[in-house]
């Protein structure tokens, strides 16, 4: 490990960045250095611009992927190398605002019914019932279930924050039935490797298979169930602040995006056109006679 790599790693550890973030940043900076076959401290704004053009035009990376590269390079040059030009010379691409596809309650039931594995069905039911991120659901422990207070404890979710979410009675019954068969100890949803929780990839593969078997035309990922959780709560009248706390969003503006998806509320609004006096029926005029 080079001194620069170690220094950047130490800087990320001091700031307590998530492990996945640390690995991602190191990977991005390494790819940047390998592209020029030079140490990053020997490179500057012009090389960064060339690399961004390469990622955009040749690699054709999506804006979300480019933003990860930008974040990694900004950290390296602004924090580790303390370059004053870092922010101005490393622009972030504008990400298009796309609305996710949302499942209806009936489609959620149809999807979950197609999950043939008991553990996976219990896990995906938990994601929909609580709105957890898939990484939060896979890292649940048996002791996180509090049937007395009817809550689930999310330990060190995104942003390294603890929070509580509701535990529905129907979900509690599913988890109790699952526990009687699997008898998990430690991790609520253990993986193939002893002592480790189930992986996100395994859950994603199950979603892909269940979506195909269910006959749904909409794509389904674990995050689709989290979206459905938020939208269905909003459509039933739950206030945004409560949904924000349940989802673990840092900003209310992030949660407010779900207003665009709550069609039962937004699209049920009366159009001003309906408030106008009823117009007379349209009667087409006869075409003028033609004399030639």
Give the active site residue among 5, 158, 200, 209: 158
Q: How far apart are CA 40 and CA 30, in angstroms?
A: 9
Residue carrying the six token digits 């739950």: 238
Q: How far apart are CA 235 and CA 247, in angstroms?
A: 16
Give the active site residue among 74, 119, 121, 133: 133
Give the active site residue among 7, 141, 200, 223: 223
Q: How far apart are CA 197 and CA 188, in angstroms?
A: 8
Query: What CA–CA distances, in Å, run from 257 to 98, 100, 179, 231, 260?
Result: 10, 10, 36, 10, 6
Give the active site residue among 25, 128, 178, 258: 258
Give the active site residue among 121, 139, 227, 249: 249
Give the active site residue among 74, 121, 226, 232: 226
Is there a catalytic annotation at residue 226? yes
Q: How far apart are CA 192 and CA 181, in angstroms?
A: 17
Is there a catalytic annotation at residue 178? no
Query: What CA–CA distances, in Å, run from 132 to 18, 69, 157, 232?
Result: 18, 27, 9, 14
Is there a catalytic annotation at residue 260? no
153: β partners:
164
Query: Which residue pairs, CB below 8 angstroms and at least 24 apart, start in 79-88?
Result: 79/8, 79/11, 79/15, 80/4, 80/7, 80/8, 80/11, 81/40, 81/41, 85/45
CB proximity list for 40: less than 8 A, separation 6 or greater:
4, 29, 32, 33, 76, 77, 81
**Tokens matching residue 128:** 């929909």
Is there a catalytic annotation at residue 223? yes
Catalytic residues: 133, 158, 223, 226, 249, 258
């Amino acid at each position: 490990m080079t001194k620069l790599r170690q220094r950047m790693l130490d800087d990320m550890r001091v700031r307590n960045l998530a492990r996945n973030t640390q690995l991602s940043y190191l990977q991005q900076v390494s790819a940047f250095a390998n592209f020029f076959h030079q140490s990053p401290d020997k490179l500057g704004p012009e090389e960064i611009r060339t690399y961004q053009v390469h990622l955009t035009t040749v690699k054709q990376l999506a804006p979300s992927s480019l933003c990860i590269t930008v974040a990694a390079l900004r950290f390296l040059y602004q924090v580790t190398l303390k370059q004053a030009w870092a922010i101005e010379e490393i622009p972030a691409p504008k990400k298009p605002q796309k609305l996710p596809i949302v499942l209806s309650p009936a489609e959620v039931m149809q999807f979950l019914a197609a999950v043939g594995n008991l553990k996976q069905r219990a896990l995906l039911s938990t994601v929909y019932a609580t709105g957890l991120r898939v990484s939060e659901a896979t890292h649940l422990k048996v002791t996180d279930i509090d049937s007395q207070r009817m809550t689930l404890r999310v330990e060190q979710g995104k942003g390294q924050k603890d929070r509580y979410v509701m535990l529905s009675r129907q979900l509690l019954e599913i988890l109790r039935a699952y526990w009687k068969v699997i008898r998990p100890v430690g991790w609520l949803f253990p993986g193939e490797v002893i002592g480790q929780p189930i992986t996100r990839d395994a859950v994603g593969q199950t979603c892909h298979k269940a979506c195909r078997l269910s006959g749904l035309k909409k794509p389904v990922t674990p995050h689709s169930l989290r979206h459905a959780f938020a939208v269905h709560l909003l459509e039933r009248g739950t206030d945004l602040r409560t949904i924000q706390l349940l989802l673990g969003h840092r900003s209310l503006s992030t949660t407010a995006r779900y207003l665009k998806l709550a069609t039962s509320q937004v699209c049920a609004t009366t159009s001003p056109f309906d408030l106008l006096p009823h117009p007379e029926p349209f009667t087409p005029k006869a075409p003028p006679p033609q004399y030639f």
